[in-house]
Amino acid sequence: MAFPEHFLWGGATAANQIEGAYNEDGKGFSVEDVTPKGIRYPRVDAPPSDNLKLVGIDFYHRYKEDIALFAGMGFTVFRLSIAWSRIFPNGDDKTPNEAGLAFYDSVFDECRKYGMEPLVTISHYEIPLHLAKVYNGWTDRRLIGFFEKYVRTIFTRYRGKVHWWLTFNEVNSILETPFTSGGIMTPKEQLSQSDLYQAIHNEMVASALATKIAHEIDPENHVGCMVLSMPIYPLTPDPDDVIAAMEQTHQNDMFIEIHARGVYPGYMKRYMREHGITVTFGPEDDALLRENTVDFISFSYYVSVCATADPKKDIRGEGNLLGGVVNPYLKSSEWGWQIDPKGLRYTLNHYWDLYQKPLFVVENGLGAKDVLVDGGPDGKTVEDDYRISYLKDHLLQVEEAIEDGIPVLGYTSWGPIDLVSASTAQMSKRYGFIYVDRNDDGTGTLKRYRKKSYFWYKKVIETNGAALHED
């Protein structure tokens, strides 16, 4: 059997997409509170009432029920994020908000009660809005200091309760969504490449510093980077397309290079040189990056794309934020995301070949419209065979990669319980094994119902993957 004995099985979420309670118990606003229509759409000045994320799925008040449901599937890991603005409401506050710290204490205790390891993203598209407004987000080096204080606080507080940490969610997404990812207020079209790369540099330094502090506070801590992965295939065997694919791949891989090897890759230096990009390094930065590389590499995987050097063939499709040219060989989800299970094996091999660090698949799943029907042990359910088939196809490719000799630490499917979508802020784009009765117009009881996939995933976990080979 390919899956190793202690393979971590579970699901992944983010605070801003599940918690709700956006202004309760001292929480400050985050950048997510002002993007009511999702990451791709314009932000507004103040949190509006029609933002589904303000209530989310009310995890803040229902976490015990939800974690019990995850335990029912046999989860050994649960990925969630800490909302930075619950701990430091403005980001630059002198002291942390005790109510926020206490909330995550209870959540982690609840996980541990069931033997579930919390896998915690420190910053998942939830930068305090104040840091965006006053400092222009990560363009300002002072954010490193605020982040340092935040991580020191949570590493100290949750010592012994949390051993698995991810620094920045989909850290490379800053290239496409500088506001959501980097808290940068300057509109993307006006943002200079130097400011963008300075923000990237500041985040890299902050991530290395977090890794250092995590190891100092508890040698049992494992810290990983988290990237949006997306194989970029050449559209044709034309060498120009191959080079286009290679160069676009570099744009994403440079983030892992810095995290995993601790140095800027040559192709990145070349790109910066040729585009007149200047970045200011602090005196300690080089050593900090070099001496504090990550313990493992984690990534989200939903789509693959193509690249071409021919502008006439450069037809862009929908995709997980970064997007790319449509692949004529693949089918798409209802939201236009192209489905490519083999790309997951390819990605695992690609990263292992380059970095030789353990890998963790921390997001993967199908956003689909579900129909709630009568049946199942909860009275209502969803017959989501399409979701089962998507996940099964991808997990079989994880197994292939393990057969290839790659150390894969675990797999957390995205949205084990329905949640608010990041790119479109919809409830109707559902990923869960658990249905949440909430609609795009904000109506619904928030009641939870287990779908067919719930019982399928339970069996997969119970058999450590063997059930993937049953019909």
Site residues, ligand BGP (CB under 6 A): 14, 169-170, 300, 320-321, 363, 367, 414, 421-424, 429
| Tokens (6 digits) for 172 | 């490379």
Answer for the pair 305, 327: CB distance below 8 angstroms, yes or no. yes
DSSP-assigned letter for residue 173: G
Answer for the pair 390, 147: CB distance below 8 angstroms, yes or no. no
- Catalytic: 170? yes
Alpha-carbon torsion 458, 406, 81, 219, what sign? Answer: positive
Concatenating the DSSP letter of every residue in 49-71 gives TT-GGGTTT-HHHHHHHHHHHHH
Instruction: Compare residues 52 and 309 and give the one whose CB is closer to ligand BGP.
Output: 52
Pick from 145, 150, 187, 147: nearest CA to 171 = 147
CA distance 101 to 23: 15
**Ramachandran area for residue 291 (φ above 0: left; ψ -120 to 50: alpha; else beta):** alpha
| Termini Cα distance of the chain | 17
Instruction: Compare residues 223 and 228 and give the one whose CB is closer to ligand BGP.
Output: 228
Shortest distance, CB of residue 38 to ligand BGP, whole angstroms? 7
Half-sphere CA count of 432, side-chain side, radius 13 A: 30
Answer for the pair 300, 287: CB distance below 8 angstroms, yes or no. no
CA distance 292 to 262: 7
Answer for the pair 122, 168: CB distance below 8 angstroms, yes or no. yes
Catalytic choice (19, 110, 126, 170): 170
Concatenating the DSSP letter of every residue in 203-215 gives HHHHHHHHHHHHH
Shortest distance, CB of residue 434 to ligand BGP, whole angstroms? 16
Instruction: Compare residues 252 and 320 and give the one whose CB is closer to ligand BGP.
Output: 320
Pick from 62, 64, 67, 63: nearest CA to 78 = 67
Answer for the pair 294, 214: CB distance below 8 angstroms, yes or no. no
- Catalytic: 318? no
Instruction: Compare residues 97 and 413 and give the one whose CB is closer to ligand BGP.
Output: 413
- Helix boundaries (H) for 318-384: 341-355
Per DSSP, the three-state class of 468 is helix
Answer for the pair 375, 368: CB distance below 8 angstroms, yes or no. no
Q: What angle do CA 172, 3, 363 make, to 5 degrees?
A: 25
Catalytic choice (19, 363, 399, 400): 363
Contacts (Cβ under 8 Å, ≥6 apart) of 150: 84, 87, 88, 91, 122
- Give catalytic residues, as residue numbers: 170, 363
